[in-house]
Protein backbone atom coordinates (compact mmCIF):
# COMPACT_ATOMS: atom_id res chain seq x y z
CA UNK A 1 0.00 0.00 0.00
CA UNK A 2 1.40 3.37 -0.87
CA UNK A 3 1.70 5.44 2.27
CA UNK A 4 1.01 8.82 0.68
CA UNK A 5 -2.62 8.20 -0.44
CA UNK A 6 -4.13 9.45 2.82
CA UNK A 7 -1.27 11.75 3.76
CA UNK A 8 -3.46 14.83 3.44
CA UNK A 9 -6.20 13.54 5.78
CA UNK A 10 -6.02 15.56 8.98
CA UNK A 11 -6.83 13.94 12.31
CA UNK A 12 -10.33 15.05 13.35
CA UNK A 13 -10.99 15.99 16.98
CA UNK A 14 -13.07 13.42 18.92
CA UNK A 15 -16.78 14.14 19.41
CA UNK A 16 -17.02 16.16 22.62
CA UNK A 17 -19.87 14.15 24.18
CA UNK A 18 -18.27 10.80 23.38
CA UNK A 19 -14.98 12.10 24.76
CA UNK A 20 -16.73 13.11 27.97
CA UNK A 21 -18.30 9.65 28.29
CA UNK A 22 -14.91 8.00 27.75
CA UNK A 23 -13.36 10.15 30.51
CA UNK A 24 -16.25 9.24 32.83
CA UNK A 25 -15.77 5.53 32.13
CA UNK A 26 -12.07 5.73 32.96
CA UNK A 27 -12.66 7.59 36.22
CA UNK A 28 -12.20 5.21 39.20
CA UNK A 29 -13.96 7.46 41.74
CA UNK A 30 -16.80 5.52 43.40
CA UNK A 31 -19.35 8.34 43.42
CA UNK A 32 -18.66 9.70 39.92
CA UNK A 33 -21.69 11.11 38.09
CA UNK A 34 -22.33 11.33 34.34
CA UNK A 35 -24.46 14.36 33.51
CA UNK A 36 -23.21 14.54 29.92
CA UNK A 37 -25.11 11.74 28.28
CA UNK A 38 -28.35 12.56 26.44
CA UNK A 39 -30.08 9.31 27.24
CA UNK A 40 -32.58 8.34 29.94
CA UNK A 41 -31.31 6.51 33.01
CA UNK A 42 -33.39 5.01 35.80
CA UNK A 43 -32.94 5.79 39.50
CA UNK A 44 -29.95 3.39 39.56
CA UNK A 45 -28.22 5.10 36.60
CA UNK A 46 -29.13 2.20 34.32
CA UNK A 47 -30.58 2.39 30.79
CA UNK A 48 -34.30 1.55 30.85
CA UNK A 49 -35.99 -0.76 28.38
CA UNK A 50 -39.60 0.43 28.38
CA UNK A 51 -42.00 -2.34 29.50
CA UNK A 52 -44.18 -1.62 26.45
CA UNK A 53 -41.16 -2.14 24.19
CA UNK A 54 -40.45 -5.48 25.88
CA UNK A 55 -44.04 -6.50 25.25
CA UNK A 56 -43.96 -5.38 21.60
CA UNK A 57 -40.65 -7.19 21.11
CA UNK A 58 -42.09 -10.47 22.33
CA UNK A 59 -45.10 -10.04 20.01
CA UNK A 60 -42.74 -9.54 17.06
CA UNK A 61 -40.59 -12.52 18.06
CA UNK A 62 -43.63 -14.77 18.01
CA UNK A 63 -45.04 -13.44 14.75
CA UNK A 64 -44.49 -16.21 12.20
CA UNK A 65 -45.61 -13.99 9.33
CA UNK A 66 -42.61 -11.67 9.63
CA UNK A 67 -39.53 -12.08 7.47
CA UNK A 68 -36.36 -10.14 6.74
CA UNK A 69 -37.31 -8.79 3.34
CA UNK A 70 -36.56 -5.14 2.47
CA UNK A 71 -39.01 -2.48 3.54
CA UNK A 72 -40.24 -0.07 0.84
CA UNK A 73 -37.83 2.84 0.13
CA UNK A 74 -39.93 5.30 2.14
CA UNK A 75 -40.36 2.84 5.01
CA UNK A 76 -43.13 0.89 6.70
CA UNK A 77 -46.35 2.63 5.67
CA UNK A 78 -48.32 1.76 8.82
CA UNK A 79 -45.46 3.18 10.87
CA UNK A 80 -45.04 6.47 8.95
CA UNK A 81 -48.76 7.20 8.84
CA UNK A 82 -49.18 6.55 12.59
CA UNK A 83 -46.05 8.61 13.30
CA UNK A 84 -47.47 11.54 11.30
CA UNK A 85 -50.68 11.40 13.34
CA UNK A 86 -48.68 11.28 16.55
CA UNK A 87 -46.85 14.52 15.88
CA UNK A 88 -49.46 16.40 13.82
CA UNK A 89 -52.51 15.14 15.72
CA UNK A 90 -55.02 12.48 14.70
CA UNK A 91 -57.42 15.23 13.61
CA UNK A 92 -54.80 17.29 11.84
CA UNK A 93 -56.24 19.12 8.82
CA UNK A 94 -53.03 18.29 6.94
CA UNK A 95 -53.32 14.54 7.65
CA UNK A 96 -57.01 14.56 6.70
CA UNK A 97 -56.27 16.35 3.44
CA UNK A 98 -53.58 13.78 2.58
CA UNK A 99 -50.97 16.49 2.26
CA UNK A 100 -48.23 15.06 4.46
CA UNK A 101 -45.22 13.44 2.81
CA UNK A 102 -43.81 11.02 5.37
CA UNK A 103 -40.63 9.02 5.03
CA UNK A 104 -39.07 6.66 7.57
CA UNK A 105 -35.55 7.78 8.44
CA UNK A 106 -32.49 6.73 10.44
CA UNK A 107 -33.84 8.23 13.67
CA UNK A 108 -33.95 12.01 14.18
CA UNK A 109 -30.46 12.55 12.79
CA UNK A 110 -31.46 10.91 9.53
CA UNK A 111 -34.65 12.98 9.41
CA UNK A 112 -32.63 16.17 9.86
CA UNK A 113 -30.27 15.04 7.14
CA UNK A 114 -32.98 14.08 4.65
CA UNK A 115 -34.91 17.28 5.38
CA UNK A 116 -31.78 19.39 4.87
CA UNK A 117 -30.85 17.48 1.71
CA UNK A 118 -34.34 17.98 0.30
CA UNK A 119 -34.20 21.72 1.02
CA UNK A 120 -30.73 21.94 -0.47
CA UNK A 121 -32.03 20.41 -3.70
CA UNK A 122 -35.48 21.91 -3.99
CA UNK A 123 -36.07 24.91 -1.73
CA UNK A 124 -36.10 28.22 -3.56
CA UNK A 125 -33.72 30.05 -1.24
CA UNK A 126 -34.09 33.81 -1.29
CA UNK A 127 -30.42 34.62 -1.83
CA UNK A 128 -27.86 32.55 0.03
CA UNK A 129 -28.44 28.85 0.72
CA UNK A 130 -28.65 29.22 4.47
CA UNK A 131 -30.68 27.98 7.43
CA UNK A 132 -31.06 29.86 10.69
CA UNK A 133 -30.15 27.90 13.83
CA UNK A 134 -30.88 28.89 17.41
CA UNK A 135 -27.82 29.99 19.35
CA UNK A 136 -27.06 27.54 20.88
CA UNK A 137 -28.49 24.40 19.31
CA UNK A 138 -27.85 20.66 19.10
CA UNK A 139 -24.25 20.67 17.93
CA UNK A 140 -24.92 18.22 15.07
CA UNK A 141 -27.23 20.68 13.28
CA UNK A 142 -24.22 22.62 11.98
CA UNK A 143 -22.51 19.62 10.40
CA UNK A 144 -25.77 18.19 9.03
CA UNK A 145 -26.43 21.43 7.14
CA UNK A 146 -22.86 21.89 5.95
CA UNK A 147 -22.80 18.31 4.66
CA UNK A 148 -25.51 19.23 2.14
CA UNK A 149 -24.05 22.60 1.18
CA UNK A 150 -26.23 24.78 3.40
CA UNK A 151 -24.61 27.48 5.49
CA UNK A 152 -25.78 27.57 9.11
CA UNK A 153 -26.38 31.06 10.50
CA UNK A 154 -27.43 31.76 14.05
CA UNK A 155 -30.43 33.51 15.56
CA UNK A 156 -30.44 34.69 19.19
CA UNK A 157 -32.31 32.27 21.43
CA UNK A 158 -30.77 31.97 24.87
CA UNK A 159 -30.12 34.90 27.17
CA UNK A 160 -27.33 34.09 29.65
CA UNK A 161 -28.41 37.01 31.85
CA UNK A 162 -31.84 35.54 32.56
CA UNK A 163 -30.85 31.91 31.85
CA UNK A 164 -34.03 31.97 29.77
CA UNK A 165 -35.37 32.77 26.32
CA UNK A 166 -34.11 35.83 24.46
CA UNK A 167 -37.58 36.35 23.06
CA UNK A 168 -36.92 39.82 21.74
CA UNK A 169 -33.72 38.74 20.01
CA UNK A 170 -35.52 35.76 18.43
CA UNK A 171 -38.43 37.88 17.17
CA UNK A 172 -36.11 40.60 15.86
CA UNK A 173 -34.09 38.14 13.87
CA UNK A 174 -37.27 36.62 12.39
CA UNK A 175 -38.23 40.15 11.38
CA UNK A 176 -34.86 41.14 9.95
CA UNK A 177 -34.15 37.91 8.04
CA UNK A 178 -34.88 37.99 4.30
CA UNK A 179 -38.39 36.81 3.37
CA UNK A 180 -38.76 33.04 2.95
CA UNK A 181 -35.79 32.29 5.17
CA UNK A 182 -35.60 28.83 6.74
CA UNK A 183 -35.60 28.67 10.56
CA UNK A 184 -34.73 25.47 12.35
CA UNK A 185 -36.92 25.32 15.45
CA UNK A 186 -36.91 22.84 18.32
CA UNK A 187 -40.47 21.58 18.72
CA UNK A 188 -40.07 21.17 22.50
CA UNK A 189 -37.41 20.59 25.15
CA UNK A 190 -34.78 22.69 23.40
CA UNK A 191 -31.37 21.02 23.34
CA UNK A 192 -29.07 22.13 24.97
CA UNK A 193 -30.83 24.81 27.03
CA UNK A 194 -34.13 23.23 28.12
CA UNK A 195 -35.65 26.67 27.42
CA UNK A 196 -38.89 26.67 25.39
CA UNK A 197 -41.15 29.56 24.37
CA UNK A 198 -44.51 29.77 26.15
CA UNK A 199 -47.68 29.24 24.09
CA UNK A 200 -48.17 33.02 23.89
CA UNK A 201 -44.62 33.43 22.65
CA UNK A 202 -45.10 30.65 20.09
CA UNK A 203 -48.14 32.50 18.77
CA UNK A 204 -46.14 35.69 18.34
CA UNK A 205 -43.30 33.75 16.66
CA UNK A 206 -45.79 32.12 14.27
CA UNK A 207 -47.25 35.50 13.39
CA UNK A 208 -43.89 36.91 12.29
CA UNK A 209 -43.08 33.68 10.43
CA UNK A 210 -46.37 34.07 8.57
CA UNK A 211 -45.75 37.75 7.76
CA UNK A 212 -42.26 37.06 6.48
CA UNK A 213 -43.26 33.82 4.68
CA UNK A 214 -40.46 31.95 6.45
CA UNK A 215 -40.15 28.18 6.29
CA UNK A 216 -40.14 26.28 9.61
CA UNK A 217 -37.83 23.29 9.92
CA UNK A 218 -39.06 21.64 13.13
CA UNK A 219 -36.86 19.21 14.99
CA UNK A 220 -38.93 17.07 17.35
CA UNK A 221 -36.65 14.72 19.26
CA UNK A 222 -38.41 14.77 22.64
CA UNK A 223 -42.19 14.52 22.13
CA UNK A 224 -43.72 13.29 25.37
CA UNK A 225 -40.37 13.18 27.06
CA UNK A 226 -40.56 16.87 27.94
CA UNK A 227 -43.84 17.21 29.81
CA UNK A 228 -44.95 13.59 29.97
CA UNK A 229 -47.81 14.43 27.59
CA UNK A 230 -47.46 13.66 23.87
CA UNK A 231 -50.08 16.21 22.82
CA UNK A 232 -48.74 19.02 24.94
CA UNK A 233 -45.24 18.58 23.55
CA UNK A 234 -46.59 18.69 19.98
CA UNK A 235 -48.53 21.90 20.58
CA UNK A 236 -46.24 24.27 18.68
CA UNK A 237 -45.99 22.07 15.58
CA UNK A 238 -49.77 21.60 15.49
CA UNK A 239 -50.39 25.30 16.00
CA UNK A 240 -48.10 26.15 13.07
CA UNK A 241 -49.95 23.64 10.85
CA UNK A 242 -53.30 25.11 11.93
CA UNK A 243 -52.01 28.54 10.96
CA UNK A 244 -51.25 27.22 7.49
CA UNK A 245 -47.50 27.80 7.80
CA UNK A 246 -45.21 25.84 5.46
CA UNK A 247 -43.09 23.40 7.43
CA UNK A 248 -41.42 20.07 7.87
CA UNK A 249 -40.92 18.01 11.02
CA UNK A 250 -38.06 15.70 11.95
CA UNK A 251 -39.22 13.04 14.38
CA UNK A 252 -37.29 10.64 16.59
CA UNK A 253 -38.37 7.72 18.76
CA UNK A 254 -34.92 7.44 20.37
CA UNK A 255 -35.82 9.19 23.62
CA UNK A 256 -39.57 8.80 24.03
CA UNK A 257 -39.49 5.06 23.29
CA UNK A 258 -35.97 4.43 24.58
CA UNK A 259 -35.06 3.05 21.14
CA UNK A 260 -31.75 4.90 20.80
CA UNK A 261 -29.88 2.17 18.96
CA UNK A 262 -32.76 1.05 16.76
CA UNK A 263 -32.68 4.33 14.78
CA UNK A 264 -36.42 4.87 14.37
CA UNK A 265 -37.38 8.26 12.96
CA UNK A 266 -39.41 9.99 10.30
CA UNK A 267 -39.42 13.10 8.19
CA UNK A 268 -42.81 14.70 7.57
CA UNK A 269 -43.04 17.47 4.98
CA UNK A 270 -46.36 19.32 4.97
CA UNK A 271 -47.01 20.92 1.54
CA UNK A 272 -50.17 22.93 0.73
CA UNK A 273 -52.05 20.17 -1.11
CA UNK A 274 -52.07 16.41 -1.74
CA UNK A 275 -50.80 16.68 -5.30
CA UNK A 276 -47.70 18.61 -4.16
CA UNK A 277 -47.23 16.17 -1.28
CA UNK A 278 -47.15 13.37 -3.80
CA UNK A 279 -44.45 15.04 -5.90
CA UNK A 280 -42.42 15.88 -2.78
CA UNK A 281 -42.60 12.28 -1.61
CA UNK A 282 -41.47 11.01 -4.99
CA UNK A 283 -38.29 13.09 -4.70
CA UNK A 284 -37.71 12.07 -1.08
CA UNK A 285 -37.89 8.51 -2.29
CA UNK A 286 -35.23 9.18 -4.94
CA UNK A 287 -32.92 10.79 -2.37
CA UNK A 288 -33.45 8.00 0.15
CA UNK A 289 -32.76 5.32 -2.47
CA UNK A 290 -29.27 6.62 -3.16
CA UNK A 291 -28.38 6.95 0.50
CA UNK A 292 -29.78 3.99 2.43
CA UNK A 293 -31.91 2.20 -0.19
CA UNK A 294 -34.52 1.43 2.44
CA UNK A 295 -34.71 1.92 6.20
CA UNK A 296 -34.28 -0.76 8.89
CA UNK A 297 -37.35 -2.80 9.78
CA UNK A 298 -37.19 -3.88 13.41
CA UNK A 299 -37.55 -0.58 15.27
CA UNK A 300 -40.24 0.65 12.90
CA UNK A 301 -42.24 -2.54 13.46
CA UNK A 302 -41.97 -2.07 17.22
CA UNK A 303 -43.16 1.53 17.09
CA UNK A 304 -45.86 0.68 14.58
CA UNK A 305 -47.25 -1.97 16.94
CA UNK A 306 -47.24 0.47 19.83
CA UNK A 307 -48.85 3.32 17.90
CA UNK A 308 -51.49 1.22 16.17
CA UNK A 309 -52.69 -0.85 19.14
CA UNK A 310 -54.87 1.06 21.60
CA UNK A 311 -53.75 -1.03 24.59
CA UNK A 312 -50.03 -0.77 23.84
CA UNK A 313 -50.40 2.93 23.10
CA UNK A 314 -51.86 3.50 26.59
CA UNK A 315 -49.02 1.49 28.13
CA UNK A 316 -46.47 3.57 26.22
CA UNK A 317 -48.04 6.77 27.54
CA UNK A 318 -47.64 5.37 31.05
CA UNK A 319 -43.97 4.59 30.41
CA UNK A 320 -43.43 8.09 29.04
CA UNK A 321 -44.97 9.55 32.19
CA UNK A 322 -42.60 7.41 34.26
CA UNK A 323 -39.56 8.87 32.49
CA UNK A 324 -40.75 12.47 32.34
CA UNK A 325 -42.00 12.25 35.93
CA UNK A 326 -38.65 11.06 37.26
CA UNK A 327 -36.88 13.87 35.45
CA UNK A 328 -39.31 16.46 36.77
CA UNK A 329 -38.80 15.04 40.30
CA UNK A 330 -35.05 15.48 39.86
CA UNK A 331 -35.53 19.09 38.78
CA UNK A 332 -37.57 19.71 41.92
CA UNK A 333 -35.09 17.98 44.17
CA UNK A 334 -32.00 19.70 42.73
CA UNK A 335 -33.77 23.04 43.06
CA UNK A 336 -34.83 22.27 46.64
CA UNK A 337 -31.31 21.28 47.63
CA UNK A 338 -29.75 24.40 46.12
CA UNK A 339 -32.32 26.81 47.52
CA UNK A 340 -33.84 25.47 50.75
CA UNK A 341 -31.00 23.27 52.00
CA UNK A 342 -27.77 24.90 50.81
CA UNK A 343 -28.89 28.48 50.13
CA UNK A 344 -26.53 28.55 47.16
CA UNK A 345 -25.98 32.13 45.97
CA UNK A 346 -28.01 33.15 42.89
CA UNK A 347 -31.41 32.23 41.57
CA UNK A 348 -32.03 28.61 40.59
CA UNK A 349 -35.61 28.89 39.40
CA UNK A 350 -34.52 28.24 35.81
CA UNK A 351 -33.99 24.61 36.80
CA UNK A 352 -37.74 24.33 37.37
CA UNK A 353 -38.71 26.41 34.35
CA UNK A 354 -36.55 24.54 31.87
CA UNK A 355 -37.98 21.39 30.37
CA UNK A 356 -36.89 18.00 29.08
CA UNK A 357 -33.68 16.07 29.28
CA UNK A 358 -31.36 19.04 29.66
CA UNK A 359 -30.84 22.02 31.85
CA UNK A 360 -28.53 24.95 31.33
CA UNK A 361 -27.32 25.50 34.87
CA UNK A 362 -25.72 28.88 34.23
CA UNK A 363 -22.36 27.49 35.44
CA UNK A 364 -19.45 28.91 33.43
CA UNK A 365 -16.77 26.79 31.69
CA UNK A 366 -14.31 27.14 34.60
CA UNK A 367 -16.95 26.04 37.13
CA UNK A 368 -17.98 23.15 34.88
CA UNK A 369 -14.38 22.01 34.55
CA UNK A 370 -13.94 22.22 38.32
CA UNK A 371 -16.94 19.92 38.79
CA UNK A 372 -15.27 17.38 36.49
CA UNK A 373 -11.78 17.69 37.99
CA UNK A 374 -12.65 17.94 41.66
CA UNK A 375 -16.05 16.31 42.09
CA UNK A 376 -15.93 13.69 39.28
CA UNK A 377 -19.21 15.09 37.95
CA UNK A 378 -19.13 15.05 34.15
CA UNK A 379 -20.95 17.77 32.20
CA UNK A 380 -20.34 19.79 29.05
CA UNK A 381 -18.27 22.99 29.21
CA UNK A 382 -21.32 25.15 28.54
CA UNK A 383 -22.81 24.13 31.91
CA UNK A 384 -25.45 21.84 30.42
CA UNK A 385 -26.49 18.91 32.59
CA UNK A 386 -28.59 15.93 31.65
CA UNK A 387 -31.35 15.62 34.22
CA UNK A 388 -31.50 11.90 33.43
CA UNK A 389 -28.07 11.50 35.04
CA UNK A 390 -29.47 12.64 38.41
CA UNK A 391 -31.11 10.19 40.78
CA UNK A 392 -32.15 9.87 44.41
CA UNK A 393 -28.65 8.54 45.28
CA UNK A 394 -26.56 11.34 43.75
CA UNK A 395 -28.68 14.49 43.63
CA UNK A 396 -27.56 15.67 47.05
CA UNK A 397 -23.89 15.13 46.16
CA UNK A 398 -24.35 17.02 42.87
CA UNK A 399 -26.11 19.91 44.63
CA UNK A 400 -23.35 20.16 47.26
CA UNK A 401 -20.71 20.12 44.54
CA UNK A 402 -22.49 22.84 42.52
CA UNK A 403 -22.77 24.86 45.73
CA UNK A 404 -19.03 24.41 46.22
CA UNK A 405 -18.02 25.69 42.78
CA UNK A 406 -20.49 28.59 42.91
CA UNK A 407 -19.05 29.76 46.24
CA UNK A 408 -15.56 29.27 44.76
C1 LIG B 1 -32.39 18.33 19.07
C2 LIG B 1 -32.06 16.96 18.62
N3 LIG B 1 -32.38 16.60 17.38
C4 LIG B 1 -32.15 15.38 16.92
C5 LIG B 1 -31.53 14.44 17.71
C6 LIG B 1 -31.31 13.11 17.05
O7 LIG B 1 -31.28 12.00 17.80
P8 LIG B 1 -31.45 10.56 17.17
O9 LIG B 1 -30.76 10.56 15.84
O10 LIG B 1 -30.82 9.67 18.14
O11 LIG B 1 -32.92 10.35 17.01
C12 LIG B 1 -31.15 14.76 19.01
C13 LIG B 1 -30.44 13.82 19.87
O14 LIG B 1 -29.82 14.11 20.84
C15 LIG B 1 -31.43 16.06 19.48
O16 LIG B 1 -31.14 16.44 20.72
Q: What residues does each domain of the chain span?
A: 16-48+325-407, 77-308
Pocket of ligand 1 (CB under 6 A): 38, 107-109, 112, 138, 186, 191, 219, 221, 252, 254, 260, 265
Give the whole-number percent of the chain exceeding pLDDT 70: 100
Q: Which atom of ligand 1 is nearest to the CA of 108?
A: 11
pLDDT at res. 37: 82
- Judge whether 256 and 224 are in contact, CB under 8 Å: yes
From the CA of 109, how far away is ligand 1's center (Å)?
6
Give the whole-number percent of the chain exceeding pLDDT 90: 96
- Check whether 2 has a pLDDT greater than 80: no
Residue nearest to atom 2 of ligand 1 (CA): 221
Q: Classify 138 as helix, strand or coil.
A: coil
- Judge whether 356 and 385 are in contact, CB under 8 Å: no
Phi, psi torsion values for 266, nearest 5 degrees: -155, 150
- Judge whether 293 and 73 are in contact, CB under 8 Å: yes
Domain 16-48+325-407 has CATH 3.40.50.300: no
From the CA of 191, how far away is ligand 1's center (Å)?
9
Beta carbons within 10 angstroms of residue 304's beta carbon: 24
- Check whether 283 has a pLDDT greater than 80: yes
Mean predicted confidence (pLDDT) in 277-283: 98
Confidence of residue 38 (pLDDT cuts 50, 70, 90): confident
Which residues are registered as beta bridge partners of 219? 186, 250
Residue nearest to atom 7 of ligand 1 (CA): 108
pLDDT at res. 17: 84
> Which of 140, 225, 250, 300 should be mutated for ligand 1, with most atoms under 8 A from CB?
140
From the CA of 402, how far away is ligand 1's center (Å)?
27
Residue nearest to atom 11 of ligand 1 (CA): 108
pLDDT at res. 146: 98
- Judge whether 373 and 335 are in contact, CB under 8 Å: no
Q: Which atom of ligand 1 is nearest to the CA of 264?
A: 11
Phi, psi torsion values for 62, nearest 5 degrees: -95, 5
pLDDT at res. 364: 94
Mean predicted confidence (pLDDT) in 122-146: 97
- Check whether 57 has a pLDDT greater than 90: yes
Sheet bearing 264-270, strands edge to edge? 101-106, 264-270, 247-252, 215-220, 182-186, 130-135, 151-156
Q: Classify 215 as helix, strand or coil.
A: strand
Would you say the pTM of this structure is higher than 0.75? yes
> Which of 141, 142, 252, 265 should be mutated for ligand 1, with most atoms under 8 A from CB?
252
Mean predicted confidence (pLDDT) in 269-279: 97
pLDDT at res. 180: 98
Considering the segment(s) 77-308 as one domain, its CATH architecture is 3-Layer(aba) Sandwich (3.40)
- Check whether 331 has a pLDDT greater than 70: yes
Q: Which atom of ligand 1 is nearest to the CA of 106?
A: 9
Tens digit of pLDDT for each residue in 336-363?
Answer: 999 999 999 999 999 999 999 999 999 9
pLDDT at res. 1: 64
Cis peptide before 192 (omega within 30 of 0): yes
**What DSSP character marks residue 35?**
-
- Check whether 270 has a pLDDT greater than 80: yes
- Check whether 320 has a pLDDT greater than 70: yes
What integer best gives the mean pLDDT of the chain? Answer: 96
Closest CA to 219 of 282, 144, 290: 144
Amino acid sequence: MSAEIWQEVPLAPPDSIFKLTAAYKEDKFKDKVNLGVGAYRDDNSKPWVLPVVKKATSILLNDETLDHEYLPITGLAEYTSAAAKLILGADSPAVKAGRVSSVQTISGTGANHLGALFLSRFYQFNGKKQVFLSNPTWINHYAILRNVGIEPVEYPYYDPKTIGLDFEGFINSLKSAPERSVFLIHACAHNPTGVDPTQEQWKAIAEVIKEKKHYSFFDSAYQGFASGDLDKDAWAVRYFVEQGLPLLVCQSFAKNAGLYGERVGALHIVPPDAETANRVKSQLSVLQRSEISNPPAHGARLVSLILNDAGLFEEWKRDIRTMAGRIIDMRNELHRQLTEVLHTPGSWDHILQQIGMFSFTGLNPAQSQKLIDEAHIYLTQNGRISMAGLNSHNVEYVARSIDGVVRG
